[in-house]
Structure 1
Amino acid sequence: MRERSPSASRTQNLETPRAAGVAGIVFAVLLAAAIVLARIGLPEGAGGSTVRLDAGQRDEVNTAVELIPFAGIAFLWFMGAVRAHTGAAEDRFVATVFLGSGLVFVASLFAAAAAAGTVLAAHQPQDFGRHFGYELLTTYGMRMAAVFVFATSTIGRRLGTFPRGLSLAGVVAGLVLLVVGSSVPWSELVFPAWALLISVYMLWADRRAP
């Protein structure tokens, strides 16, 4: 009988539904916290007149910017674990959309964080970073998040890993992000809420599995 090496065992542990669930929960919590802090620290994010930040608001923006890289790392881990779990059964077209939209979302998220961080520099006009950061996040990032939600829900439904209700919830979340994500403040929280729902379900399903 051939024994598995410790490195192979560790790699397989990172590809389990439990790993995907944990990574998804970490991502959801970090992204939601960053969005809330950014919304509070940068009031009237998508519009309004020039806003001068006090010390408390600067701390909130700085914390949000610091959280984003860790949220992005957790999201990439979540993507990798989900994709590894689907294995050879995945549809190449849907898998490509899944991977591409996820990577573009992370890129938009990092760029939005960098733009928002410019408000902390005294020599930079605060309006530029505020408007540009929100534009990247709500217009581009959330639309890529919507595509990612659609692709993940499709993969889960086709493979039978997601129940019908969870797949329908993904469609609704994707439509909200796609249609109103750039015009309704706080609607971007739909994405981490969906990721949390998916992750909790994956952990629950993994515990029930024999």
Structure 2
Amino acid sequence: MQTTASGERVLQTPRAAGLAGIVFALLLAAAIVLIRLGIPEGAGAVTVQGFTDSAQRTAVRTALRLVPFAGIFFLWFVGVVRSHVGDAEDRFLATVLLGSGLVFVATLFGAAAAALAVLDTAHPPGSTPGLPTWDFGRHLAYTLMTGYAMRMAAVFTCSMSVIGHRLGVLPRWLTVLGFLTTLILLLVSSNVPWVELAFPAWSLALSVYILVVSGRTL
């Protein structure tokens, strides 16, 4: 809470909220790694024999438990980002930033639900998973994550990088990193495994920068 020159009391973003982006980046990275390890992708993963391993199923279930919390912390992260930009933000870019962030979370949840369907439908307890159901669920989960969620993440990253460049609220190296992350997520996220980790890596870098800068201004 802060009092303005006119005597009005306004709420300020607590500095601890800057940690939301760091927590989000770590949770999302952990979920991506566990899903990649638990549900293989590619020509060598069209059978379900490898998924009979309980360790793989445990890895996927652990990842799915992390996804809702990653989404919650991402929404806090969006709030922190907009607070860092301040009142000078461009309304058009700010709308794109917020909209892409919300669609990213919704699509990420959809990918998690699809992955959960692979576990509960394709491999119920005491039965052998069927290849058609397994293949459909696996491809649906990866399509939602790499084809849609990561492209929304690319729009979010690009919007923030443009805002940071135009208003000067981000250093040059961070905006360049954001544009590179955008290109990677837009062009190769559907074809090259593991590149989706570029988004939590960029989010982590941005969160650390905002946290450091907010500490200096106290």
TM over 0.5: yes
Deviation, 1:208, is 2.7
TM superposition shift of 1:204? 1.7
Which of 186, 201, 210 is the equivalent residue of 1:193?
201
Q: Name the structure 1 match of 2:63.
A: 64
Which runs of structure 2 are paired with 1:100-179 in the superposition (5 Å)? 100-121=99-120, 122=123, 125-179=133-187
User: Any conservation in 1 of the 2:84–2:210 contact (CA below 8 Å)?
Assistant: no
Call closer, same or farther: CA 1:3–1:193 in 2, change over 3 Å.
closer
Question: Structure 1, residues 121-159: CA drift from partner, whole Å, max 9, x if none?
Answer: 135722222110000000011111001000011112222
Partner of 1:31: 28
What amino acid sits opposite 1:63 in the alignment? T
Q: CA–CA distance in 1 between the matches of 2:185 and 2:107? A: 15
Distance across 1 between alignment mates of 2:94 and 2:101: 11
Q: What residue identity is the alignment partner of 1:24? A: G
Matched, 1:41 2:49: no
Distance apart, 1:182 and its partner CA: 0.6
Give the letter for the 1:147 counterpart. V
Residue identity (%):
59
Q: Match for 1:36: what amino acid?
A: V
TM-score computed with the length of structure 2 as normaliser: 0.86
1:25-70: per-residue Cα shift (whole Å, max 9, x none)? 0000000000000000011268741223111111000001110000
Q: Deviations over 1:61-97 (max 9, x none)?
A: 0001110000000000110122133232110110011
The aligned length equals: 202
Q: Distance in 1 between matches of 2:165 and 2:92?
A: 15
- Which ranges of 4 or more aligned residues in structure 1 deviate by more than 6 Å? none
Bigger Rg, structure 1 or 2: 2
Take 1:35 and 1:46, find their aligned partners in 2: how far apart are those partners? 19
| Structure 2 letter corresponding to 1:86 | V
Backbone CA RMSD of aligned residues: 2.1
Gaps of at least 5 residues in structure 1 are none
Q: Give the aligned residue type for 2:66.
A: L
Evaluate the alpha carbon distance shift between residue 108 and residue 151 of structure 1 in structure 2; reply closer, same or farther with a 3 A threshold. same
Aligned to 1:204: 212
Q: Give the superposition deviation at 1:101.
A: 0.6
Q: CA deviation at 1:3?
A: 6.5
d(CA) in 2 for partners of 1:45, 1:111: 21
SS in 1 for 2:13: helix
Structure 2: segments with no counterpart, 5+ residues: none
